Amino acid sequence: MIPAEGRVGRQVSPGDESYPLVRQEKGAKGRAWPECCCRPYVRRCLLFDHNPRFAECAELAARSAFSLVICGLPFLLPAGVAPNLDSFVDSGFYAVTVVSFIVLHIKTNLGSTMAATCSGLRGVVLAVCNAWCMFGLFPDGYTEEESIWVWWFGFAEGLLFLITIVHLNFDTGAMVFSIKLFSGYWMHFLKIDQEGFRTPWTPGFSIYKNKGIQDLTNVVLGAFLTILIFLFPYPLTALQAAQEAATVMSHEVPYILRLFVKYLEDTKSNDYEQDRIMRNIRRLQRKGDSLSSNVEYSWWECFGWGSRQADRVALRRLEKVLRDCYDSIHGIWSVSELRKGEERGKHHLAMIEVIRVRYLPLLNLVEELIEQVVFVGSITQFSDAQKTEVLRLIQEIRAEQAMFREANGENEIASIIQELEVVHTVACHMMMVINGFVRYAEKTMQESNKASYLCDMEGFGFRDLFKGVTSPGCNTQLSAECLGVRYSMRMIFSVLLGFFTGYSGSGMVTPGSPAIAKATATLLSKFPGSALVKNLNRIQGVVLGTVFGQLLDTIFHRSTACSYFNEVLLGCCFASYIFATVFIHFYVTDFAIMGIQMANFGGTEMMTGGCGEKEDTGKAYSKITTNLLAIIFIVLVDLVFASERASDMAAAKSQDLWVTIKLGAMDVLDPDKKVTLSSVTLETELSRVESLGREASHEPRYHRIAWREQMFDATLKEMQEVRYALSTLERILAENGQDGAKKVPYFRSTVLQTSAVQQWAAVLREKFDLISSLLEVFSHETNQRWPMLDDEKVTKQFRVESEKAKSQLLQEIVRLELYKQGPLEPMNNTSFRDDPLCMLSIFLACSDAMLVSMRQIQHNILRLY
């Protein structure tokens, strides 16, 4: 397709043709978000316009500090000032553990916080119910009067509970809190000199004095107070965060497309314009990551019901549209990189002029449509006037699409295919982007004003607990629980070692103390190597928090007589300390674990003891000792039950991923295979491999050389580029772009049947195999020379073979006039799938892009080895 002579169409105003230096203001037209009156002032005070991330973290820290001061008042005020509070604390229903629970469950928004607190609450309920079962049979636990079989019953029952909690698919919060709390109950049952507690069905039970009821009340209060942090003075919800991310992304997509048109209309590429495009692509990627997680967490804000669930469904649909837009933009980028150093010919410039005149006004209409269906408080609630406006915009966009499509006619000059590779890719992807937004708007209109949705329980059902429980190895998906048998053995034996060390005392801790087992449950991680580094970070937080907390408490509390002035000073210090440590947790990624442990242990220290009360330094020493012993036990157990290292899994999974990409590419070139859209699957796998690479960089290497982090990251970056090119090929070749569809008849029956394409496939297959061999470098962990370097094929360029195959394909296209053999049906006004020249250009461009990315992987490995 090149510019056709003829009708110019409606005049385009200078405003339509201009390239904005700044983005249009969000929500300038259409419906606007309902926003709390104080939120803009808070953001202004926290310098949100200067550094949004700083402002967000500072706001979270300020909310946490203020709320924790209020929650800690019963422990900060002198005894007798508030008798009702004193009696409530003395009853055991409100303890320091409430404040500790709040600190450990502060997340970034309401949805993620509710998910975390519900997880912890689930673990506590499991521990309490299991303890009631044990003490229901033997109310006093094991005593000197009881048979030794009672002790063995308690041991077997506790071990069974531990195995069940660890090996089923309980999330981390539920697992950690259930083990921590049950360790104390278990110790009470097995230790002779420790007192048991009554269950609801045994005589002597009192709801006011029962340990289980008190623990449940503490956790429920902690969860309730944690949720209040994100409700006042105005809500910080995951759904609103998802809407904001969707808004930024929806603005970013048209803006980047305009930048591409501006970049491609010059006779030569401008490297600085390219830099600006890449900067905005990265911004789009960051927002995409936050959108996905916030949509997921927003379930907890509506529990799958009502109008907010309708908004979640719409946002999930919009997320898919925006993900496809991101792939399209990266597809344009990958192809434009191929021709960045070449002079742009007249056909290219003519086609870009058509896009500039025809497409930019169309993009303006799409932005108006986005204003109407995205930038809103509830994205599924529309008035009649708003519906009319959206439908009008959709009709106008369709009409403009037809004019844009008609302005790009076919030409019988096949020699310009290579010249138009980039511009054809741009036009095709731009049409895909428009269609994505239009289909989203149409679907949203169809489901508008539907406030009632069935409850969505995906991921929270009972059957999910049993997925993968027979897995022989560790699940490498870092966003899910590690459910392998080996991991279960590591955790069970680590907790048991800590538990029975505390049971006997062993001269290290007070006999009958479950503290080591509790610390072990908290410190365990999926991968032994990276866990050691993280645990050393935790021990820093424990030590620094304990020291800071005792120091401030001694200065303002214990060393003086009770006075309001000292209590106010201590409260101010407590608030400042919580603000600083929580801010570190959210803002400084490398010290996030240390920051939250400092807040936990330091805050707890400040709230224990009374005015003029002598400090017990032994307790502080005991906290540090138990955490050190827990780390030692974890390391020892890891040496015995050493699971597969993260670096080994990263190397193996990168190989598997590359094989998957290769098979996908070969299937695309096979005329008989149906098209399977692999973009989402490959993106998920790439994310897992990337996470494994980060874990590998934190594991101790001992006798092995350092993990090749820079080489691994560079390799994954190029794999991502191959994925973008493959995704473009799949979407353009599948009939109607549908997953599982046959390839378009034109390609299936003509182009893919040529011998030149088969030769091209053979070149790609050989290159894929070479890269697969080079990826073995990540399993080479010594300073000895890597044998692969002595293989001559590692320096094979494939340049001659690829150029020959491409030249033959172009000759065959001209000889057989394949560029004329489009479908017989009328022209499709909303797609370029019926344009043979366009499809051929994209096919060649994406194939070239894959080859170039593979060549870059080869360069990176040979240069950085």
Q: To which H or E segment does residue 72 belong? A: helix 52-76
pLDDT 10s digits, 761-791:
999 999 999 999 999 999 999 998 898 888 8
Evaluate if residue 253 carries a pLDDT over 50: yes
Asked if 509 and 516 count as a contact pair (C-beta separation under 8 A), the reply is yes
pLDDT of amino acid 856: 93
Of 103-107, 216-220, 795-799, the range with the lowest mean pLDDT is 795-799
pLDDT of amino acid 379: 62
* Domain boundaries defined on the chain: 91-236, 238-446, 661-677+690-864
Name which residue leads in pLDDT, 483 or 831: 831
Average pLDDT over residues 412-437: 77
Give the separation between CA 21 and CA 204, rounded to whole angstroms: 76
pLDDT of amino acid 459: 46
Average pLDDT over residues 648-664: 95
Of 352-366, 377-391, 632-646, the range with the highest mean pLDDT is 352-366
pLDDT of amino acid 8: 33
Instruction: Provide the greatest CA pair distance for the chain.
Output: 104
pLDDT of amino acid 527: 58
Buried b (16+ CB within 10 A) or exposed e, 291-325: bbbbbbbbbbbbebeebbbbbbbbbbbbbebbbbb
Separation in Å, CA 216 to CA 198, 210, 572, 765:
15, 10, 30, 61
Average pLDDT over residues 315-322: 91
Q: What residue type is assigned to position 447 of the chain?
A: E
Give the separation between CA 332 and CA 724, rounded to whole angstroms: 9
Asked if 604 and 99 count as a contact pair (C-beta separation under 8 A), the reply is yes
Comparing CA positions, the residue from 111, 28, 102, 38 lying closest to residue 71 is 102
Comparing CA positions, the residue from 287, 285, 280 lying closest to residue 255 is 280
Give the separation between CA 495 and CA 515, rounded to whole angstroms: 11
Q: Is the peptide bond before 233 cis (omega within 30 degrees of 0)?
A: yes
Enumerate the β-bridge partners of residue 409. Answer: 2
pLDDT of amino acid 616: 64
pLDDT 10s digits, 530-566:
667 777 788 889 889 988 988 888 787 666 667 777 7
pLDDT of amino acid 416: 66
Evaluate if residue 514 carries a pLDDT over 80: yes
Token digits of residue 427: 């036009």
Evaluate if residue 625 carries a pLDDT over 80: yes
> DSSP per residue over 580-625, as a string?
HHHHHHHH-GGGHHHHHHHHHHHHHHHTSS-TTPPP-HHHHHHHHH
Domain 238-446, CATH among 3.30.420, 1.20.140, 1.20.58, 1.10.10: 1.20.58
pLDDT of amino acid 476: 39
Average pLDDT over residues 263-292: 88
Of 52-61, 142-151, 467-476, the range with the lowest mean pLDDT is 467-476
pLDDT 10s digits, 822-862:
443 455 656 776 677 788 888 888 988 999 999 999 999 99
pLDDT 10s digits, 665-709:
999 999 999 999 998 899 999 999 998 999 888 888 888 899 999
Of 259-263, 313-317, 473-477, 519-523, the range with the lowest mean pLDDT is 473-477
Buried b (16+ CB within 10 A) or exposed e, 765-786: eebbebbeebbebbebbeeeeb
pLDDT of amino acid 479: 37
Of 262-266, 447-451, 512-516, the range with the lowest mean pLDDT is 447-451
Average pLDDT over residues 512-528: 81
Give the separation between CA 748 and CA 673, rounded to whole angstroms: 9
Evaluate if residue 474 carries a pLDDT over 70: no
Enumerate the β-bridge partners of residue 2. Answer: 409
Separation in Å, CA 570 to CA 271, 577, 670:
57, 10, 73
Q: Judging by beta carbons within 10 Å of its beta carbon (0-12, 13-18, 19+), is residue 665 exposed, middle or buried? A: buried
> DSSP per residue over 3-66, as a string?
EPSS---SPPPHHHH---SSPPPTTSSS------TTHHHHHHHTTTTT-HHHHHHHHHHHHHHH
pLDDT of amino acid 539: 85
